[in-house]
Amino acid sequence: MTLNLLIELLPFPEAARTQLEAYHREYGVSSYVDELRMLFNAHDSADAAPPLPAATTAANASVAPARLSARLRENRDECWARIAEREDALEFYLYFCTLLVAEAEERYSARFGYEAYLRIARDLVRWSESCYRRNGCYGLEEYRWFERMLDNKIVELGVLQFEMCKLSEISEKKIEQTLKEGIKERRPAVADRDSDDVIKVHIPAGAHFSPCNIQEALTEAWLYFGTSRVYICHSWLLDPALAQLLPEGSNISYFQSLFDLIGVNYCARQAEDLLFVRASSDLGDYRSYLASIEASSLQKNALAYLEAGNKLGLGLGVLKVGVFKTPA
């Protein structure tokens, strides 16, 4: 798919659409973008990896994926670092990721289907609008997110997104060993307790949350991925403190009820980032922001909760076994 066609298909604001088209006219055929593209995709070729010893044993054979993965990380780090040097880095991240997503249409559709491709591509619009609210420009701060989409690891099913990942990778970077053990203890009975594969549940911005929609999304995921893997969620929506800030029977409370809480990270500021545009050390910034918008009851209650000296955190939960009738 061409970039211009993707821009036409997605509901970008007119200003963002015009900006992307202008970047494409300037950089669409340029050695600069070609070099960035080659860095990002270098792992697709065995030539991107350093020479490997002959795989004469199973141990040697297992080294190859690890080295390819390491080279992929290095190449992509360099790709993003080059863009970060630009004065218009945020805007260029949006352009470059939109270009990559357009080029990924065929391989993503082959895995998940064309409609799924268009659904996940809408994240470009969601995150660009988030960047506008936070920085006053249509850009992209979450460009790392699109790495996983472009690697066919994330699919949007109903109102939720599901990411295929490795528990070991998450544990090393985001959660402590005790949380890792907590996840293993809650694996479905039919699962391989030593398996490293998990499904991570994400909530897209603007999702039309309701018990029915959530149930439909999970059922669709079970049909697609099967029922033997553990499903985890790492989100501010799992902070138990929200029970004090939300009315009884809220959609968020229902979502929380589906998960066994393993732990809460109170150093993370995701809740404040999303409720008040950007986390701040000055609560006055939150008051000013809420005064400038039609604030929701959750935003007002969250501000009062923080003013009382409390913290909002990032909860980690494991989807309960048998919450819904799983498909046969």
Per-chain mean pLDDT for the chain: 85
Sheet holding 160-166, edge to edge: 154-157, 160-166, 197-202, 230-235, 314-319, 259-265
Domain residue ranges in the chain: 1-151, 153-268+313-328
Q: Confidence class of residue 207 from pLDDT cuts 50, 70 and 90?
A: confident
Give the C-alpha separation, 34 to 43, whole Å: 15
Does 227 or 118 have the greater pLDDT score? 118
CATH topology of domain 153-268+313-328: Aminopeptidase (3.40.630)
Give the C-alpha separation, 217 to 125, whole Å: 21
Cβ neighbours of residue 149 under 8 Å, at least 6 residues apart? 101, 104, 108, 120, 123
pLDDT over 50 (residue 2)? yes
Reported as a single tens digit per residue, the pLDDT across 26-70 is 999 999 999 999 999 875 543 333 333 343 344 443 444 556 577
- Cα distances from 138 to residues 36, 134, 175, 290, in angstroms, run 21, 10, 32, 22
Q: Which two tokens stand for residue 245?
A: 């800030």
Global confidence as pTM: 0.84
Q: What is the structure's pLDDT at 180? A: 64
pLDDT over 80 (residue 279)? yes
Does 262 or 239 have the greater pLDDT score? 239
Q: Which two tokens stand for residue 316?
A: 């980690």
Reported as a single tens digit per residue, the pLDDT across 73-119 is 889 999 999 999 999 999 999 999 999 999 999 999 999 999 999 99
